[in-house]
Each structure stands twice: as structure tokens, then as C-alpha cells.
Amino acid sequence: MHATGLLSVFVALLGVASASPASPEPLERRVTHTGTATYYLQEGAAGACGIVHQDTDLVVALQTEQYANGVQCGRTITITDNTTGKTATGIVADLCPGCNGSGSIDLSESLFEVFAPTRQGVFPVSWHFNAQ
């Protein structure tokens, strides 16, 4: 009886502790986005995040919804090719308003080539934000 009572109090305290920090990031981290992956060339232009990257950099542009006005700039995402199961990590560097709907992403040439030759052009993708 007494032990059960203590346990209930302990569980109640845990509930309070885990509910308090209401940062959106831990929630967003668990979301798996799906869409199509394409690639783009850097051409010496700064991405929407404000940094010039090379085609050899493993960077990615997010569709408007996930780019969220640049909130995710510099964040890493884990990308999975749905057809092969291969995964790789990319750094958010740009916005892709023309991507194929929410969840679709545009990869740098070298990041795309981790998954497939660029002549393939596209693959179905699932991805998620990594913990910061």
C-alpha cells in the first residue's frame, strides 16, 4: 500500500517534468517527412540560408513548409531513399519553393550522388530532422 502510494507520486512527478519544456524541436524531430528528392547545382549563388556552397558540399534545400522561413538553416537531416533503403545526412542550406509538395527536398549534386547517379534525376524519399 505504502509503496504503491510512493510510486504514484513518483509517476505523477515524472509526468510533470516531461510535460514542462514545450520547445517545438523535440516534436518536429520525430516527424518523418516523405516526398520526392531531386538535385540542384549551386552555381556560386548563396542559398536562402545566406551561405555559398559548392556542388561537393552535402547540403539540401527544403520545401517551403519545412524550411519555415529559415528556422531550420544549418540543421542536419537524415535522408532515406525509399527504393534502396540507403541513408545519408545533409545540412539545410536553401529553400525549394518548386519542390514536389510538402516533404520534397532538393539535394546538392554530391549528396544526390550518394544515392543515385544524377541522370536518374529523382527518387522517393523519407527524411527527418536530427537532434540539435
List of residues contacting ligand NAG (CB under 6 A): 34, 36, 82, 100-101, 122, 124, 126
Q: Cβ of residue 46: shortest distance to ligand NAG, in angstroms?
A: 26
Q: Which is nearer to ligand NAG, 21 or 85 (CB)?
A: 85
- What Cα–Cα distance (Å) separates residue 116 from each residue in 21, 57, 89? 40, 16, 15
Q: Which is nearer to ligand NAG, 21 or 117 (CB)?
A: 117
Distance CA 20, CA 41 (A): 43
Q: Cβ of residue 130: shortest distance to ligand NAG, in angstroms?
A: 17
- What Cα–Cα distance (Å) separates residue 54 from each residue in 21, 24, 41, 58, 77? 38, 31, 8, 9, 18
Q: Cβ of residue 125: shortest distance to ligand NAG, in angstroms?
A: 7
Q: Which is nearer to ligand NAG, 82 or 89 (CB)?
A: 82
Do 111 and 39 contact (CB within 8 A), yes or no? yes
What H or E segment, with its residue span, contains residue 25? helix 25-29
Q: Which is nearer to ligand NAG, 8 or 32 (CB)?
A: 32
